[in-house]
Amino acid sequence: MSTVKFTKLFINGDFVDSISGRTFETIDPRTEEVIVRVSEGDKEDIDIAVKAARQAFDSGPWPRLPGYERAKIMMKWADLIDQNIEELAALETMDAGKLYHMNKMVEIPATANTLRYYAGAADKIHGEVLKMTREFHAYTLLEPIGVVGHIIPWNAPSSIFFTKVSPSLATGCTMVLKPAEQTPLSALFHAHLAKLAGIPDGVLNVVPGFGPTAGAAISSHMDIDAVSFTGSIEVGREVMQAAAKSNLKPVSLELGGKSPLIIFDDADIDKAAELALLGFLYNKGEVCVASSRVYVQEGIYDKFEKKLVEKAKSWVVGDPFDPKSQQGPQADRNQFEKILSYIELGKKEGATLLTGGNAVGSKGYYIEPTIFSNVKEDMIIAQEEIFGPVLALMKFKTIEDAIKRANNTKYGLAAGIMTKNLDTANTMSRSIRAGTIWINCYFAFESDVPFGGYKMSGFGRDFGLEALHKYLQVKSVVTPIYNSPWL
């Protein structure tokens, strides 16, 4: 367990109370009890944070430092994360219900490595020399876009914090970040470490608050130059509308998914069942790329279903601080109740409940792993993102059938394919309209692999060198040349 040290807004290098003096509760999803009260930022506080970020961009040292100097500070920040892994892991567990041992071993170390990856890119951001057909010399400059607004969700607070912050820091931008109101604690701790690492005042500002106030103020602010948002389609639309109505700032959106995992007859059934289980239960299903639709070719369907249900029934749901637990509580009451309502919808629509379907215990937001079979494509549980430990299991016959059904969704974030046939893997990976395709694996993320969606899963890419371009402007410079021996 961790003692919460930081509960105020972080603006211009200091922790400060909100202008209004209001605070809000952040709740422990294990116990449904209040952890602490956190300062509530709104439009006035966003204005002050943007002013600090603008001053830091227009007049401060960060955009003017050589890339290697920015990299040194980012590397120091990453080292400080490593030194505080246990405390950060505990904050994520208390605030979001994430498994402590996974936070400590995987998620928090990965955030530090994301920071290091983009630190390595900070001195390698270059334009191009262009060959023109007339007597001109041309080249491009890649310049930081300016002040960036980041709005992040509650399911992976640290991971997505650094997915956004790292590339924008590498390019020389300054920023205002709003963490989800459900999970503000780790973001404030990261801001503290940024200050210790030497990030100049005003470069990173963290303003906890609510979407309709603080989030809307970021999206509509006339002095924010770009917005990066991860969350729901509904809020993504509002972010885009606000950006368009204000200063036409560019927007990048990652809006979730309804990702298919497609298992062919020649797949290893044991491995397929393990991946399918992990695909919808990792982080209690609160993952944008969760494989919440599993299609199994009819030749192995019965064996697969039996094995998957057996594994789900032995899955341990419990206190995320307990190393034996494989699944903690959902992040908050709203999400808990939403998932249970989808389970009831699945029953009413006529799907067969194979296992699960109930809350666990009388305290905390725990839900059993839930698997439905006999799911039809037009059922709500097959079409809408549930964002919880709920799986729709379906049969398919042919590769053409699999492609058609995999693409029968408004989303296009990710997909998994399990087969030993290279031709099948190639055909499927080129036919499914999704931003990431995993073949005989799932959740294979790395900092250098671009991540983002097709269709209503959004646009723009996080991770990889692609992510840098969201935070850069391309400037073309042309000058005449005289008496050159060649063009």
Q: What amino acid positions are annotated as catalytic residues?
A: 254
Tokens describing residue 350? 């006529």
Three-class secondary structure of residue 141 per DSSP: strand
How far CA 91 is from CA of 97, 157, 204, 355, in Å, comes to 9, 10, 20, 32
Cβ-contact 133, 486 below 8 angstroms: no
Cβ-contact 38, 208 below 8 angstroms: yes
At residue 298, what is the residue type?
E
Cβ-contact 90, 180 below 8 angstroms: no
Pairing of strands 14-16, 9-11: antiparallel
How far CA 476 is from CA of 137, 139, 143, 217, 336, in Å, comes to 11, 6, 11, 32, 51
Percent of the chain as helix, strand, coil, to the nearest 5? 40, 20, 35
State the distance between the two ends of the chain, measured CA to CA, in whole angstroms: 67
418-454: string of b/e by CB count within 10 Å (b at 16+)? bbeeeebbebbeebbebbbebbbebbeeebeeebbbb
Cβ-contact 280, 312 below 8 angstroms: no
Tokens describing residue 156? 């992976």
Residue with tokens 């459900």: 182
Tokens describing residue 451? 């991540």
Backbone phi, then psi, for 291, in 5-degree steps? -85, 75
How far CA 135 is from CA of 9, 138, 486, in Å, comes to 55, 10, 9
